Each structure stands twice: as structure tokens, then as C-alpha cells.
Amino acid sequence: MQNAETVLSILKQKSENDEQYVFDRIYRNLFNEEFYIRAYKKIYAKQGNMTQGIDGKTIDGFKKQTIVDVIELLKFEQYYPQPVRRTYIPKKNGKMRPLGIPTFTDKLIQEVIRQLLEAIYEPIFCDSSHGFRPNKSCHTALYQIKSKCRGTNWIIEGDITACFDNIDHDVLIRILSKKIKDGRLLELIRRFLKAGYLEFEKMHNSFSGTPQGGIISPILANIYLHEFDKYMEELCKKFSKGKQKKVNPEYHRLNCKRWKANKNGDYEKANQILKEMQTINALDPMDSNFIRINYTRYADDFLVCIIGSKALAVEIKNKIAFFMENELKLELSQEKTMITNLSHQRVKFLGYEVSKTHENTKQVIDSIGRKKRSANGTIQLLVPSKAINKKLETFRKHGVSYPFVAKVNLPVLDIINSYNAEIRGLYNYYCLATDVSKKIATFKYYHYYSMIKTIARKEKSSVKKVFNKYGISVPRKIGTGTLHIIGMKYKTKNGEKTITYFNDSLKKIDKPMTKINDIFGQNFIGGQLIKRINANQCELCGADTSELEVHHIRKLKDITRKYKKRGTAIPNWVMLMSTIKRKTLVVCHKCHVNIHTGKY
């Protein structure tokens, strides 16, 4: 059989060269073992794989025979996905979110299907779609709004009622069949859609929606909503008109007066007129002959940015609702889908606030020394104050930093790492915001002293003593000199290292990071695991055998701590995993049984 990478490359190339190309005989790729090896490399490191599905199994014990057995069932079209096990996790608002846990075998097959679908559909997806796509993110969606929607008057904040739960199976299969003429593949996808879920030991059928917790769910949702993306592209082209707004008559009148004043030598009057001109729009904001519509979607959240009238915004909203209902059998929530005047009110999108600068903003000096307005209707991305205050609830009480009690029992090094991860994650998400420095600096102040007080409570000490014990002088990231900050030194195999509390710059980033930096690392580690499996040697007893199984654990540090806490000797298999720094161990069946029965 062809190399999996070659197959995916061919599929992608055909889709790129001809958007109307129809694919057939895709199902036969599910007989290629290499696709399953790629799938395993992709998903093996995720902690969710250690959670049992309905069959009571996890990724632990994976072996090559698993792939052989799956392919054999698929060849005779005898593979039927099992229902997902439904559980619930808490949401931020206190409610519970349903979560579906598929079996590991279902995950493996879904990942292979996802790779095939991505190769076919990714080249034809619209630029306005940003959710669950390679090199796309919340940041690329926000940046698109910022860079393309200058001068927006009205925004439609789209809200689809329970979008992923209401995806119609028949409509989805019909959409897939436009591009894929392969009945066996479509039937397998239908089986995944209809697999149902188990809740409180009771089976429930799936009549709509994509598989809960399924790996193929995001791309199936994107394929479904791609029809909406195409419709919106046509709508944007249909309503957009005019090359440029006409000059504001009042601005033109004042400009003529200023020109005459300058001509007559009355420079004081000319300057007064200029100041008056700078308080109004240079171009006619009500020019009905100039209309622009821009659309951006991330998953089921979307914004439609309109340069035009409110009546036009209402008309577009109604057209969207009609298309959703008649073509996709989805409901646009009339209550939550709001039309907002961006000149007077901010819009929330993907955790940011979207606003527009006004015409009478401060002046700047251009490259040749002329005074000009700094911005005219440009889009600003802002950090919501409520989001920061919500984050601070854990670290601040009555305006004072407070220790995080849940972290008191952690080692000091882990406490510092934990706090660093929190503030770095917050900054990395809001780094596109204009006010990121101010808002994150406020958070950082309380967050930093919360960390110090957490360490102080752990050691039953005072803040001053913590400063004296853990204070480290490090070079400032901004400016010159040094900064005295909490940190500690620790030893590694490569020598002594120093870790301090987050000390990076909080400056605004102008463009989003589109490249995923850890792809190479993931492939390298996954490739090493496959080489270890193909070595045909048990890593524990050294026996030469091709019947190898992969022992998986959720977290390496947790299992070493477990034995230290018990005060018992650490087994040799744990020591080996700690030495190679892997959460996997390739062993023979006998050794794998001995690990689980505690004989090692």
C-alpha cells in the first residue's frame, strides 16, 4: 500500500487544484496500517486516553494486533462504533457540561478518518473559518476582525442555538456526499453519528449532533458550517458596493474656508477651522453608496461587521436565520443574536471586547512632520475587566492578595511553576489586546503576592522571610539594572538551573502566532515510541518478541510521588520510566501483567 503521507498529499493536491473534484474509494485507506500508526502517534500522549470508555478499556496495553483486528472488521464492514460514556464536568457558571468518552479503538479510527477528511476539505475551507483548523486559532479570528473591519458601524453577534447538538445527520451526510462518493466511508461516519451514549447505565440513541468527545466532531462541524461560510461569502459580495465613501459635505465646507483663510494670510483663523475639522468625520459616515460586509467565524461563534445602515444589518440577520433554518436545520437564537452599534457599545467575542476608535482621537506626527489623526474608526481589541476580576477571585479578597490554599501542599518549585503557567497563559491569550500591559500588570501584582503568601503559609513563615529565603536578583526584561524577584535554584542532569516568577514583557503583540511550535516535538516523540515498538524487545526484561504492549500512565510525577508517600520501595519499572522520562513503557505481555498485579 502507498505511504500514508503520500496518500494525504495526493488528496490535498487534488482538492487544491480542483475545488469541485469528487473523491471515491477513500474507504480502502482504512486498511492501511500506517494510518493507524500515525493516528496513535497523534493521540497517545493525551491524558484523556487513560479514561475508560464503555468497554472498560483505555489506551494502556496498545499493541500492533489491535490495528490488525480493527482492519479485519473494517474490511468486511463489520465495525460498529460503541456508545460513548457520558459524564459531566463543572462549567464556570456553576452548571455542568456533558462530556462523552469514546472507547480508545473508536478514537483511533476517528483519527484516521479525521486525517482523510482534513486532507480533502482543508484546502477548500473559507478564510473566514478559524475554529479547529491547522494554523488557525482564536487569535487569527480576532486579528481578521481587527485588520479587515475598520470603519464598522454595526455588528451582528451570531448565536446558533445548541449548534453541535442539533447538526442534522441526513443534511451532514448529504453535504459529505457532494465531495465524497464512497458509500462505505459515509456509512461508517453515519454509524459514528448514530452510536448514541450511555448515561447512568441507560442507553440513549443519537438523533442529531456530532459524536460527543469524538475526534471527528470538530471537522464534521466545520464541513457542516462550511455551507454557511460559502453563503456568507456570497452575501458579502452581493451587498458590498462602492470604492470609497464620499467626502463629508460639512468637512468639505470647512476645508474650503480654511483654504481661503490661509490664502488671505489669516493663519490663526485657519488653525481654528482645522481644529474644528478634526472633530468631525472626513468622509460621509451615512454614504448609502458605500457598503462593506465582513464575516468571521470560530466554531459556532461568528460576527458580521457592517459598514452601512441598521436596516441593512436587520435584513442580513433575517437572511442568516432563514438560511440556517431551511438549509442547515439550525436555529439562530433571536434573543442572543444581537445587532450592536459599535460606535456606542463594545461587542464580546472569544473572550475579548471589540470596540472602535472615534474620529476625534489624539494627533500624531507622520513621517514628514505633518499632524494627523492617529486612527479613524480602527478596530480595537480589549481585555474585559470582568474577565480579569473573575480570575482574581481566587487570589484576591477585599482588595488584598490571598494565598491559594489548594496549592499549599505542593513543593515550592511546583508552586512557582503553577503560578507561572497561570499568568503566562493569561498573557498569551490576551497579548493582542491594546490594553494588555495595563490589565495584566494589575493581575500580576495580586497574583505575585498571592504566590508569596502561599509559600509563606506552606512554610508557616512570613512574607518577609519568604523574600529573604527565595529572593533572587535577575536582569530586568525591560530597561536596565536588576530585579529582586521570588525564585529558586534547582539541580538537573545538565547542571543547576534557576526559575523565577514570570518576568517577561507584557507588551502588545501586533500579529498572531499562526505556526504551531510543538508539532515537530510531538512527531519526534511519537516517532521514538514507534521505533521502540518496532525494536521487538521488552524494555523491562529484555525478552525478544514481536508481541509487545505499551504500558501507559497518566502522569509520571504522580506515580513516583505515590510510592514516596507510601514510604515503599519504588518498582524498577517506575525507575525506568523516570530515567527515560516517558509516560510509556514497551513491554512483553508477561511484564505488563506483572506491572498491574504489583509483582514488580
Question: What are the φ/ψ torsions at residue 45 (nearest 5 degrees)?
Answer: -80, -5
- What is the distance between the alpha carbons of residues 360 and 373, in angstroms, rounded to a whole number? 7
Question: Measured between alpha carbons, how far is residue 588 from residues 61, 528, 548 in Å?
Answer: 10, 18, 5
95: in domain = yes
How many independent structural domains does the chain possess? Answer: 4
332 and 370 assigned to the same domain: yes
Per residue of the chain (600 residues), give pLDDT as tens. Answer: 789 999 999 999 999 999 999 999 999 999 999 999 999 999 998 888 999 999 999 999 999 999 999 999 999 999 999 999 988 888 766 777 788 899 999 999 999 999 999 999 999 999 999 999 999 999 999 999 999 999 899 999 999 999 999 999 999 999 999 999 999 999 999 999 999 999 888 888 888 999 888 999 999 999 999 999 999 999 999 999 988 888 888 888 888 999 998 988 898 889 898 888 877 777 777 778 889 999 999 999 999 999 999 999 999 999 999 999 999 999 998 888 999 999 899 999 999 999 998 755 455 555 556 556 555 678 999 999 999 999 999 899 889 999 999 999 999 999 999 999 999 999 999 999 999 999 999 999 999 999 999 999 999 999 999 999 999 888 877 666 788 899 998 887 778 889 999 999 899 998 886 554 333 334 445 678 888 999 999 999 999 998 999 999 988 877 777 777 777 788 889 889 988 888 999 999 999 999 998 877
Q: 537: Cβ–Cβ under 8 A, 6 or more apart, which residues?
A: 543, 544, 545, 548
428 and 372 assigned to the same domain: no
β-strand partners of 283 = 247
224: in domain = no
Q: Which of 111, 79, 128 is nearest to 226 (CA)?
A: 128
397 and 496 assigned to the same domain: yes
Q: Which of 382, 410, 435 is the last residue of a domain?
A: 382
458: in domain = yes
253: in domain = no
Contact criterion met (CB below 8 Å) for 175 and 223: yes
377 and 344 assigned to the same domain: yes
61 and 194 assigned to the same domain: yes
221: in domain = no
Question: What are the φ/ψ torsions at residue 355 (nearest 5 degrees)?
Answer: -135, 175
Q: Which domain holds residue 92?
A: 4-124+169-207
268: in domain = no
411 and 295 assigned to the same domain: no
513: in domain = no
180 and 68 assigned to the same domain: yes
303 and 421 assigned to the same domain: no
State the pTM of this model: 0.89
Residue at grid coordinates 536582569: 475
236 and 348 assigned to the same domain: yes
Q: Which of 348, 365, 382 is the last residue of a domain?
A: 382
- What is the distance between the alpha carbons of residues 463 and 445, in angstroms, rounded to a whole number? 15
- What is the distance between the alpha carbons of residues 14 and 225, in angstroms, rounded to a whole number? 22
Our CA dihedral for 339, 342, 345, 348, rounded to 10 degrees, sits at 70
375 and 390 assigned to the same domain: no
For residue 55, what is its C-alpha cell?
A: 468497554
| Sequential DSSP letters for 147-213 | HH-TT--EEEEEEBTTTTTS--HHHHHHHHHHHB--HHHHHHHHHHHT--EEETTEEE---SSPPTT
156: in domain = no
Contact criterion met (CB below 8 Å) for 439 and 430: yes
